[in-house]
Structure 1
Amino acid sequence: MQTIDEIRRTGEPTASEGRAVKPTPDSAELERGEKGEVGERAEDQAEGGRKGMRFWLIYLSLLLATFEAAVEQTALSTALPTIADDLHSTSPSWVANSFMIASTAAIPWSGGLAYIFGRRPVMLAGLGLFSLGSIVGGAAKNMTTMLAGRGIQGAGAGVIFAIVEIILSDLVPLSERGLYQAGFSATWSFASATGPLIGGAFASFDYRWLFWINPIMSLPIALCCVWVMKLKGPEDDMREKLAKMDWIGNLVFIPSMSVLILGIVWGGVDHPWRSAHVLATIVCGAAGLVAWFFIEKHWVKHPTVPFAAILNKTSLIGFVTTFLHGIVTMCVYYLWPAYFQSAKAASTIRSAVDFLPVVGLVSPVAVITGFSTNYLQAYKPQNIVGFVLLTVGVGLLALTTEATSTAGWVLIPMVVALGIGVIYAATVFPVLAPLPPDLAGQALAFQMLVRTFGMVLGTSIGLTVITNGLGKHLPQAYLDMVPDGVAGAYSSIPLIRTLEEPLKTEVRHAFAQALRIVWLVMVPFAGLALILSFFMDALPLNTAKDENFGVKQKKGGSPDDVEKADVPPAVASEDAQLYPTVSIAEATVRMA
């Protein structure tokens, strides 16, 4: 009987249909009873598909690395006004944007370096950069030093984001990944959701500990990498390895993306939207990204963009919806806590506590989504339901005002939190389902790139929209009190609690109205993702993984030294071409 994965891999019927089927190397070895790696994996299967101790230690270290890097993306959302006030900055968005831009820029480099030098050295480099940037940021006495530290920190985080997903794809086939992806999705979503709470707690006494705690957390992860994470690596010589790097593409992508973000941040704040400064930067940045795509397609021998993946409809939809989810999610994470500090005139720590209804839902829902995907071996329903919740939920946020009751601001954001949690875990499956295992690492690195780029835009768009809205709604008496007027309005949020009535109520109302515009702007992004999710194909999940990377096996092959697999691994495609796909109905007929 032919499995669905074999049908998708070969596109050929079984021998029972009258055609000879050439046995794969795996099946041939099993038939001969050889005691190679495949034979040992078959024995592992007989033992129940359990994972060894090394596997779990590696998995735990990946979760911890994901947590500390993801926390830094959102922890500053509640601490940002405090940092801007302490360092006398009127452009607080760059504290977030410098991290996100550097993170986005590092992801394609880390994907290429992982294939050149192997997974462990790149993981250690990411932890080192993240710790160094944290030390610089924690010691910063001015905004220039802070931005430098955040940039270095973001580069390290970008490496971590990409490499942990790549290592997971090396260790676990897609058919099993729902269980393990649930842990990653839960960690990512829990870290992102608790970031504002952690940031508020530290900002209430000393925000610098948000940075200094990171090297302490990175140390045990690095030790685990050195002692336990003994992974396979490429055996090419250094010249061949360096030739596989996408030097030209990355050097075009990074400045193009930075210029585009600069134009968005400038718009309506430092310069009018129709000014030459804004239009020129946005047009040049967008043109640079278009040029980058064509350079990747026609000039680069080893491109960052996995064209075999984006030419597949379902994978492409997965990338686009991941990008749109990143925009909406980061906007919510940065500006919903700001609602409590501004419209509700809450303290920093109180705003973090009020954010708990979102924190309490995102992570468990991500776990449930991962388990449901693994149990049902299906992913399309989860994507559709998740984007319905995200679209409706972000629209409901527009109903909140400065007078919204406690029950209102507790219950209303729960809908968008459900959507965020579902989609955190769901979009990886349409990306990977149509692809062979040897494309998984590149596809995951690119998915992390588009997610992080979406987060950069989400932060920039959100802060730009609210600043423009405040320019229309804030009373002039308040703007006269704020250094730099409208440009410094967001940084002035801590000032609201000290105002006298009726000015205090007027300012709270202005912030609530500006935030309402932000949520309405986010609705089309979530709605577009919902429409696209209906067009993804419902494909079976692969049971194979890339055997070129993974846990090294010691001589003797003890259960603790090699990760167990439920089925013999598929042979990686040398050309990295897409497997032929068939419908579930056709696969069922062939299996019968």
Structure 2
Amino acid sequence: MDIELDKVNSRKTATASVVLQPSTSLRSVVAASVEVSQAGPTPSPGASETAAVDNANEQSATDTEQGGYEVPTMTKLELQLTFISLSVVGFLANLDTSVVATAMPTIASEFNYLSQQGWIILSYLLTLTVFQPLMGRACDLFGSRSVLFVSIFVFEFGSLLCALAKNFVWLCCARAIAGIGGAGIMIGVMVIVSQIVPLRERGNYMGIMYARIIIATVLGPLIGGLFVSFDWRWCFWINLVIAVPGLAILVLFAKKLPHIKKADVSWRDIDFGGIAILAVFVVSMCLAFNWGGVAFPWNSKIVIVLLVVGFALVPAFITWEIKVPSYPVIPMKMFRFRNVTTSTVNNFFTASVLQGVFIYLPSYYQIVRHDKQIISGLEVLPYIMPFFLTSIASGLIISKTGSVRGLLWLGGFFNIVGSGLLIMLNGRHPRAVEYILLILTGVAGGPIVQASLISAQSQVTKDLLATVTTMTMWSRSLGGIIGVAMQGSIINNIFKRGILENATAAPYVAQLLAVENVSTLPLDVQATAAQSYGAAFQMMMVATTVFCLPGFMFSLVAKKEKLS
């Protein structure tokens, strides 16, 4: 079903194409970002007039989305089969990281790059994060169906190259290619679900969709551990095997998938300049927080330059998006809708909290509790399972009541309280107490992730649906990767300092930082490592609790929407 959307009107095109003059000040750039939907150099209206215009715009967008959205003609069986196939395809992107994370030390050891093993994951996550906005915009311009199929091919091609890798550089480059495909899969799947399911019913479907994250989290360590025992390359071959059934169903119903796109648009209209700025920003910030205090001192030139470049690119990106491209990768006009802004900020800070705990919790159990690697992976379940259950429950509540704002508040409250309680994790409390604390923290994620996406979608017209869906997901990915880098910097710096202060443990610092075969080290070294990592984890949770506050504060000002 091809739906040709109207071209952007000439007034907006002219406004977006204005070249930034050298005399433009930062204040005017910020003002332009707020008033991007207004025409020409007309004077700014008063506060009350602006509020009235914004409310009218928001109401109009809401009415269009809720009342005028066209759903493809599918039977109930076709919709269910399509949804299952989309879940299977999306499952690939989630399973990949979980499986590879378990096999990472073994893979890096084979190539003699144990100290650089993090790049096996980071190279995938960097391109996954950088290319998500591009994929969202491509869905708007060329149709989500095309983006999804191309992305599946790119992901599978990258996985094939990973399985055939002859050296570490080859592997990391192949992982980066797979990350590009993973970005398109994640965005394409969520956009298509948003297009084929009515707004009020999306909570139910999204809750089931998030189940794949739980399944991938549980199966990943088991599958990774199994493959490592005979051939780690099957960690990548498995992606080609799993894709077959989901892809077969999608091909069967391809013509019934929505293909909403703009008319007369080519690849030349893609905002490659904006993508380049985003890429440099993400890489600079991640490298700065990964290297700072570990590979290089915080006051070293390279770390300072990376931080300066990263922060300087934020206003540069906003300026570029407002003034240069006709089709910006992140249209600033969507931030005139209050719930898009609140959802984006909330997602960023929430993901930075959730991802950090998820990533570093297994290391806590390996080093502080002396658990085996596969057991430590399963001990994340008390944190992950509540996320899954509250996602489903939130979807049911949204479908039943048509309200989302209360769920945002509830999730934000539990996020702050749970993260604060996790400061208690130091290895001295009974495991049952630790699991209860993890459950209290885990219940926060489901309501926030569910409600924030639907809250943002409820206020925009369908020509911005893919972009807004992408923005909420991308802010989650960006918050996750930057949050993990910052939390990793805290843990690595404090942990490394504690190890180096002990003469007996100091020679093992590289092995301990890599969390490699910790159980084989001398007992006194293990004791020092447990004490140091426990202190590092507690300090990380202090910072994490502070990070919860901005997201919760923004959720308090979300506009109340009653879904029809």
Q: TM-score range by the shorter chain?
A: 0.7 to 0.9
Amino acid at match of 2:92: E
1:246 aligns with 2:271: yes
Alignment of 1:428-443 (within 5 A): 428-443=453-468
Q: Distance in 2 between matches of 1:80 and 1:263?
A: 22
- CA separation of 1:402 and 1:6: change in aligned 2, threshold 3 A: closer
Structure 1 pair 77/334, CA: closer, same or farther in 2 (3 Å)?
farther
Alpha-carbon contact 1:467-1:489 (below 8 Å) kept: no
- 1:8 paired with 2:59, answer yes
Q: Unaligned 5+ residue runs, structure 2?
A: 1-55
Aligned position for 1:368: 393
Pair 1:445–1:248, CA change in 2 (3 A): same
1:519 to 2:541 alignment = yes
User: Aligned match of 2:307 in 253, 269, 282?
Assistant: 282
Correspondence for 2:178: 153
The answer for the alignment partner of 1:401 in structure 2 is 426
Counterpart residue number, 1:554:
none
Give the match for residue 107 of structure 1.
132
In the alignment, which residue of structure 2 is the partner of 1:497?
A: 519
Partner of 1:331: 356
Larger fraction in helix: 2
**Does the alignment pair 1:173 with 2:195?**
no
- TM-aligned CA distance change 1:346 to 1:140, over 3 Å: farther
1:72 equivalenced with 2:123 (yes/no): no
Please give the per-residue CA displacement for 1:283-325, whole angstroms capped at 9, x wherever unaligned. Answer: 1122123211211111111112132321222210101111112
The residue type equivalent to 1:59 in the other structure is F
Report what 1:561 is aligned to.
Answer: none
* Residues 241/456 of structure 1: CA separation in 2 closer, same or farther (3 Å cut): same
Matches within 5 A, 1:5-404: 8-9=59-60, 51-87=75-111, 88-192=113-217, 195-196=220-221, 198-200=223-225, 202-203=227-228, 206-230=231-255, 231-233=257-259, 240-404=265-429
Distance 1:181 1:10, change over 3 A: closer
Local SS of the residue matching 2:116: coil
Which residue number corresponds to residue 424 of structure 1? 449
Q: Which moved more, 1:111-120 or 1:154-163?
A: 111-120
CA 77–383 in structure 1, closer or farther in 2 if over 3 Å, else same = farther
Q: Tell me the TM-score normalised to structure 2 length.
A: 0.82
The offset of 1:194, in angstroms, is 5.4
Q: What amino acid sits opposite 1:259 in the alignment?
A: S
CA contact under 8 A between 1:343 and 1:401: conserved in structure 2?
yes
2:502 aligned partner? 476
For 1:341 and 1:90, locate their aligned partners in 2 and report how far apart those are by CA, in whole Å.
18
Answer 1 or 2: higher relative contact order, Cα 8 Å, separation at least 6.
Answer: 1
Structure with higher Rg: it is 1
2:556 is the alignment partner of 1:534? yes
Change (3 A) 1:136 1:188: same
Contact residue 96 and residue 239 of structure 2 kept, 8 A = no
Change (3 A) 1:519 1:77: farther
| Matched length | 503
8 Å CA contact 1:345–1:497 kept in 2: the answer is: yes
Correspondence for 1:446 among 452, 471, 476: 471
Query: Which residue type is aligned with residue 521 of structure 1?
Result: A
What are the superposed Cα offsets for residues 346-386 of structure 1, whole Å, 9 maximum, x if unpaired? Answer: 11111123222223322122111111111111111111111
Indicate if the aligned counterparts of 1:61 and 1:224 stay in contact, CA closer than 8 A: yes
Unaligned runs of 5+ in 1: 13-25, 28-36, 45-49, 544-592
- Cα separation, partners in 2 of 1:6 and 1:523, compared to 1, 3 Å: closer
**Residue aligning to 1:566:** none
The superposition leaves residues 543-574 of structure 1 with CA deviations (integer Å, 9 ceiling, x where unpaired) of 5xxxxxxxxxxxxxxxxxxxxxxxxxxxxxxx
Shift of 1:478: 5.1
Q: Name the CA shift for 1:53/1:244 in 2 (closer, same or farther; >3 Å).
A: farther
Pairwise CA RMSD of aligned residues?
A: 2.9
Cα deviation, 1:85-133, whole Å, max 9, x if unaligned, reads 4443313332222111100122122223323433223212211222222
Are the equivalent residues in 2 in contact too, given 1:304–1:446 (CA < 8 A)? no
Q: Provide TM-score, normalisation by structure 1.
A: 0.78
Between the aligned partners of 1:424 and 1:185, the Cα distance in structure 2 is 9
CA distance in 2, matches of 1:11, 1:232: 21
Q: Structure 1 residues 141, 342: closer, same or farther in 2, change over 3 A? A: farther
How far apart, CA to CA, are the structure 1 residues paired with 2:228 and 2:201? 41
**Amino acid in structure 1 at the alignment position of 2:444:** G
Amino acid at match of 1:54: E
Amino acid at match of 2:84: L
User: Per-residue displacement from partner, 1:41-68 (whole Å, max 9, x unpaired)?
Assistant: 9xx9xxxxx9532222221111112222
- Give yes or no for contact 2:89–2:247 (8 Å, CA) kept in 1: no
What is the CA-CA distance between 1:243 and the residue it aligns to?
4.5
Distance 1:142 1:242, change over 3 A: closer
Equivalent in the alignment of 1:546: none
